[in-house]
């Protein structure tokens, strides 16, 4: 840039005043427009009952706050401001909003709108999150059905790895559930594989797809299973951090719980310590040991 503020050269590029094409605006807009569409779709999945205008505002805010942007993006943004061409993010936002009708149509095509499901029947996981011990063996997840119960409906299900791996942490499974007339729920049996190796807590997923008739899948169509490892001694904590007592209470017991594992016999030392209350005046000092036997949780 020369002394008068006119851009002469930038990183080897010959920039022509007012040329959006040479500044890469169209390329950047296409990338961010697609990012805007993807963000809007994700929000629609997370909040299926939210008003679309609210989702638009959330997607807009997410796009403007997302970062870091590429080096080229900031170069283009700085160049546009020096040339008096306005803020690139605002321009992209305005153009993305002008294309919103196209985005809405695409979301409706991919999500399967409710007008194709006049009976308002829905199939979904309830609940959508399960926490089990590694030693639990078999357990069940529940798939619920609401709306019109007069017709027969089928839906496919399958497991998918998260941090837990099929074959080593859980038994993979897939199949098809058939809801007969009047049936409100089905259950799928899953199995966790127990071992003697310490590992962090892991998770895997169960998903629904391929419902017949189409358009009956409701949110959530994904359930998360968290496997708590019980191959170590566990974590120990007070059930509550703060306790308010009257002076006349006499003896008061604090409950200590054991979580995230219950393997083996564990000894936990404890002792009291002065705060504003002083031992011997406001309370009796105490110390000792808590002994947790194998699989004992409190």
Q: What is the mean pLDDT of residues 196-218?
A: 85
Q: What is the mean pLDDT of residues 35-56?
A: 72
Query: What pLDDT was estimated at residue 85?
Result: 46
Integer CA distances (angstroms), 248 to 94, 160, 241, 251, 252, in order: 68, 57, 21, 9, 10
User: How sure is the predictor about 144, in pLDDT bands with cuts at 50, 70 and 90?
Assistant: very high
Give the Cα separation of 206 and 29 in Å (integer).
Answer: 36
Q: State the chain's mean pLDDT as an integer.
A: 76
pLDDT digits (tens, 9 = 90+) for 49-82: 666 667 777 776 676 666 544 455 455 555 555 5
User: How sure is the predictor about 37, in pLDDT bands with cuts at 50, 70 and 90?
Assistant: confident
Query: What pLDDT was estimated at residue 238?
Result: 94
**Percent of the chain at pLDDT above 70?**
64
pLDDT digits (tens, 9 = 90+) for 218-231: 889 999 999 887 66
Give the Cα separation of 11 and 220 in Å (integer).
Answer: 49
Query: What pLDDT was estimated at residue 28?
Result: 47
The 3-state DSSP class for residue 212 equals strand
User: How sure is the predictor about 25, in pLDDT bands with cuts at 50, 70 and 90?
Assistant: very low
User: Hey, which of 8-12, 52-56, 282-286 has the most confident mean pLDDT?
Assistant: 282-286
Q: What is the mean pLDDT of residues 102-106?
A: 54
Query: What pLDDT was estimated at residue 119?
Result: 61
Domains, in order of start, for the chain: 20-111 (no CATH), 122-228 (2.60.40.2030), 235-292 (no CATH)
Which secondary-structure segment (H or E) carries 291?
A: strand 287-292
Query: Pairing between strand 129-133 and 174-179?
Result: unpaired
- 28-37, 197-206, 245-254: the lowest-pLDDT one: 28-37
- Bond prior to 8 in cis (omega within 30° of 0): no
Query: What pLDDT was estimated at residue 97?
Result: 52
pTM: 0.45
Query: What pLDDT was estimated at residue 32?
Result: 64
CB 245 within 8 A of CB 271: no
CB 92 within 8 A of CB 32: yes
Q: Please give the full DSSP string across 104-134, using - where no structure is assigned.
A: HHHHHHHHT-GGG-TT--EEEESSSEEEEEG
**Percent of the chain at pLDDT above 90?**
35
Distant-in-sequence, close-in-space partners of 165: CB < 8 Å, separation ≥ 6? none
Whose structure tokens read 């609940």?
127
- Does 114 have pLDDT greater than 50? no
CB 130 within 8 A of CB 159: no
What is the CA angle 232-238-243, rounded to 5? 180
Give the Cα separation of 109 and 98 in Å (integer).
Answer: 19
């Amino acid at each position: 840039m020369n002394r008068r503020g006119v851009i002469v050269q930038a990183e080897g590029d010959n920039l022509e005043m007012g040329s959006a094409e040479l500044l890469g605006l169209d390329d950047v807009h296409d990338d961010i427009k697609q990012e805007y569409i993807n963000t809007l779709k994700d929000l629609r999945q997370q909040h299926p009952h939210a008003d679309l205008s609210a989702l638009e505002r959330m997607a807009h805010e997410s796009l403007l706050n997302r970062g870091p942007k590429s080096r080229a993006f900031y170069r283009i943004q700085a160049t546009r401001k020096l040339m008096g061409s306005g803020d690139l993010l605002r321009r992209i936002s305005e153009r993305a909003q002008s294309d919103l009708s196209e985005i809405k149509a695409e979301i409706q095509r991919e999500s399967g709108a409710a007008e194709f499901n006049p009976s308002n029947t829905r199939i979904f996981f309830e609940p959508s999150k399960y926490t089990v011990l590694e030693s639990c063996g078999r357990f069940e997840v529940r798939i619920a059905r609401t709306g019109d119960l007069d017709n027969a409906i089928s839906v496919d299900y399958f497991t998918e790895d998260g941090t837990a791996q099929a074959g080593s942490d859980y038994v993979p499974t897939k199949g098809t559930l058939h809801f007969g007339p009047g049936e409100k729920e089905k259950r799928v049996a899953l199995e966790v594989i127990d071992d003697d190796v310490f590992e962090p807590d892991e998770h895997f997923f169960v998903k629904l797809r391929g419902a017949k008739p189409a358009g009956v899948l409701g949110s959530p169509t994904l359930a998360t299973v968290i496997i708590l490892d019980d191959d170590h001694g566990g974590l120990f904590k007070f059930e509550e951090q703060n306790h308010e007592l009257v002076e006349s209470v006499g003896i008061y017991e604090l409950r200590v719980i054991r979580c995230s594992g219950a393997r083996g016999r564990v000894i936990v030392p404890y002792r009291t310590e002065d705060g504003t209350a002083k031992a011997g005046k406001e309370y009796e000092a105490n110390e000792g040991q808590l002994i947790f036997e194998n699989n004992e949780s409190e």
